[in-house]
Amino acid sequence: MLDTAYNVETPEGIDLRAQAAGPVPRILAYAVDVFYRSLILAALGIALAFADRAGVGIWLLCSFLLEWFYPVFFEVVRGGQTPGKKAFGLMVVNDNLTPISWSASLLRNLLRFADFLPFGYAAGTIAMTLNRDFRRLGDLAAGTLVVYRQQNSSERSLPQAAPLAPPRGLLMQDQLAIISLAERHRDLSEARQRELAELLQPVTGKSGRDGLHYLHAVGNWLLGGK
Amino acid sequence: MKQQDFEQRYGESWQRLEQWLRTGDTDSDRPAPDLPVAYRSLCQQLAVAKERQYTNQLIERLNQLVMAAHHRVYRQQTLRRNTWVRYLLAGFPRAVREQIRYVWLAAALFVLPALVMGIGSYHNDALIYAVMSPEQVLQFESMYDPGNDVMGRERGSDSDLQMFGFYIKNNIGIAFRTFAAGILFGLGSIFFLVFNGVYLGAVFGHITRVGFTTTFYPFVIGHGAFELTAIVLAGAAGLRLGQSLIDPGGHRRPAALRLASIEAMKIVYGTFLMLVVAAFLEAFWSSSTELGVGVRVAVGSIFWLLVFAYFALAGRGGNPEGEARHGS
């Protein structure tokens, strides 16, 4: 299946699911991080300009730390998100979807250099396109991956329609289709919903607004509305 | 059971758990739920919801809740007290001895080109210009010219700090790159080892030829014990990564790489510490000209002996498994 879903079975027998993040949002997130890092270095450079040679030493030290450990710090301390990743709703996790550990984060960020070779993250991008979960070399070695952080979904809302019992002999998949139509009544435009309801006109015997209303009502009933 | 009844029955406990996961342990007013129990029953509810084909929105919500709880339950707490002490006393030298084949290989890849280039540029004046521009050569020569009172640069304590920053950024960067590039089937590590060997050999040969031995050797011998060995060890760790991809043995390549990187990282932590020591020595000790040449050469030689003794002897005896169990 051509899909970015990533499933893990926990010891409790539950399938956890996450969406692996592809190269484009990750490159953008990286660009944001580079921007922040340069900003910090520039600010430090100005602040330390008065400290002369000692200042240069401290600046070099800081630039070393920022170059190699900036992502490590944020990934471990801030729940897998550097500021750039946070901006794009990404997070790094171990491949069993647990929070990333120090050693894994260190490894994946040390190997960033190999991903960068020969220029502009070419090796990393090629590696990402060659495996299912968009892992660069560092991710492969450290056993990590970058996934989308899921947004907390808003409360469910159901269409305003008094529940109506469905006709007999409705198959499971038909029920599911009707339920999901009711569930998505906010996300789909009115016209599109009516168009979908129209397809069932031979079955429901109703068309236009009535047909849609009827399907909403059945959906409510199937969800347990009384 | 219809979905809405199901939601009604468990909704409150989900909300409580969601609330607690959001605020975390910091909120002392709210009693912490018994997390493992709450997590297990949540897993069961998710399984039931999936089995009964409840709506995607509900399953999505439960899935998120399970994930958040999963993160809490399976949070890894790796850093124990004493871990670092044990690593320094035994873990690091043991890891190096376990990978000794790669260490020797990396050492050969570093030392042999250095020897060839060193002997070559000792006998041939022009050879060093094959790897360096004339300005760089001049700079090296002026740095180690015994005619200078202070060595090369004007050294005060503030410029010591400057050089410390430089050595940290430069040398540790080289070691990290030497390691990381090893994942490209070992080729990157080989390249960096040979390249640094050639470069170093050229400088050694040329400076010896020019006759600045009394300033050069006392300078390099002290921190070299840590710096050069660390570069070799970083290369060895990189070769270990590359080898796992070339010959994964009984595993698939990704799995072999994972296993190899665990072994390799044990060495990389140590090289990082060694290079910090080296940068410290290089900036604050090697360059001090107050101590006589003899003293510095003697201390430098002792460093070399200590480093080799450390890797040869430290952490021998005592079953590592038993010790780990005892310590935990």
**Pair (A129, A182) in one structural domain:** no
**Which strand (E) or helix (H) includes residue B167?**
helix B157-167
Domain membership of residue A97 (yes or no) is yes
Segment A137-168, tens digit of pLDDT: 889 899 899 988 876 655 667 777 777 777 77
Model confidence at B32, pLDDT cuts 50, 70, 90, reads: low
* Residues of chain A scoring pLDDT < 50: 1
The rounded radius of gyration (Å) of the Cα atoms in chain B is 28
**Alpha-carbon gap, residue B231 to B290, rounded angstroms:** 29
Using an 8 Å CB-CB cutoff, list chain A residues near B240. Answer: none
For chain A, the straight-line distance linking the first and the last C-alpha, in angstroms and rounded, comes to 39
* A 138-167 residues with CB < 8 A to B: 140-143, 150, 152-153, 156
> CA-CA distance, A148 to A12, in Å (whole number)?
23
Distance from the Cα of A160 to chain B's closest Cα (Å) equals 16
pLDDT score for B155:
54
> For chain B, which residues make up each domain, given as ranges?
3-73, 83-327
Residues A17/A5, Cβ–Cβ less than 8 Å: yes
Tell me the nearest-neighbour CA distance from A5 into chain B, angstroms: 13
What pLDDT score does B107 carry?
93
List, for residues B36-85, the tens digit of each pLDDT value.
888 888 888 888 888 887 877 788 888 888 888 887 777 766 556 678 88
d(CA B189, CA B109): 9
Count of A–B CB contacts within 8 Å?
Answer: 144
Domain count, chain A: 2
The answer to whether A165 touches A226, Cβ cutoff 8 Å, is no
Same domain for A96 and A140?
Answer: yes
Asked if A9 and B63 count as a contact pair (C-beta separation under 8 A), the reply is no
**Under an 8 A CB cutoff, do A141 and B257 touch?**
yes
To the nearest whole angstrom, how far is the Cα of A169 from the nearest Cα of chain B? 18
Q: Cβ A12–B75 below 8 Å, yes or no?
A: no
Q: How far is B178 from chain A (nearest CA, A)?
A: 9
Q: Is A9 on the interface with B (CB under 8 A)?
A: no
Predicted local distance difference test score (pLDDT) of residue B325: 41
**C-alpha to C-alpha distance for B251 and B182, rounded to whole angstroms:** 19
Please tell me which of the candidates A16, A113, A223 has its beta carbon nearest to residue B176. A113
Mean pLDDT for B196-218 is: 85
pTM of the model: 0.79
Whether residues A38 and A121 share a domain: the answer is: yes
Optimal mutation site among A8, A12, A176, interface B, most CBs of chain B within 10 A: A12
Residues A34 and A143 in one domain: yes
Same domain, A142 and A183: no
Q: Are residues A126 and A195 in the same domain?
A: no
**Stretch B297-304: mean pLDDT:** 90
Higher pLDDT, B279 or B144: B279
Contact B76 A14 (CB under 8 A): no
| Contact flag B60-A153 (C-beta cutoff 8 Å) | yes
Residue of A nearest to B41 (CA): A12
- Which chain B residues are closer than 8 Å to A54 by Cβ? 158, 161-162
Contact A113 B64 (CB under 8 A): no
Neighboring chain B residues of A18 at a CB cutoff of 8 Å: 67
A59 part of contact set with chain B, CB < 8 Å: yes
Q: Which long-range contacts (CB under 8 A, 24 or more apart) does A101-106 make?
A: A101/A76, A101/B76, A101/B78, A102/A72, A102/A76, A102/B78, A102/B79, A103/A142, A103/B78, A103/B265, A104/A142, A104/A143, A104/A144, A105/A71, A105/A72, A105/A75, A105/A76, A105/A142, A105/A144, A106/A72, A106/B265
Interface of A with B in 64-123 (CB under 8 A): 64, 67-68, 96-99, 101-103, 106-107, 110-114, 117, 123
Same domain, A80 and A13: yes
Main-chain dihedrals φ then ψ at residue A148, nearest 5 degrees:
-80, 135
Query: Do A46 and A85 share a domain, yes or no?
Result: yes
- Does A181 contact chain B (CB < 8 Å)? no
Domain of A188, in residue numbers: 172-222
Average pLDDT over chain B, rounded to whole?
Answer: 82
Contacts of B161 in chain A (CB under 8 A): 53-54, 57-58
| Residue of chain A nearest B164, judged by CA positions | A57
Q: Do B57 and A99 touch (CB under 8 A)?
A: no
Residues A87 and A185 in one domain: no
Q: What percent of chain B has pLDDT over 70?
A: 87
How confident is the model at residue B318, as a pLDDT? 62
Mutation target vs A (from B67, B164, B282; most A CBs, 10 A cutoff): B67
* Distances, alpha carbon B75 to alpha carbons A8, A94, A175, B63, in Å: 16, 11, 40, 18
Dihedral Cα A14, A15, A17, A22, nearest 10 deg: 140
- A14, A60: one domain: yes
Q: Do A27 and A112 fall within a single domain?
A: yes
CA distances A148 to A6, A20, A26, A89, Å, are 11, 6, 10, 6
In a domain, A110, yes or no: yes
What is d(CA A218, CA A199) in angstroms, rounded to the nearest whole number? 16
CB-count exposure of residue A187 (10 Å: 0-12, 13-18, 19+): exposed
For residue B164, pLDDT over 60 is answered with yes
Contact check, Cβ <8 Å, B64/A10: no
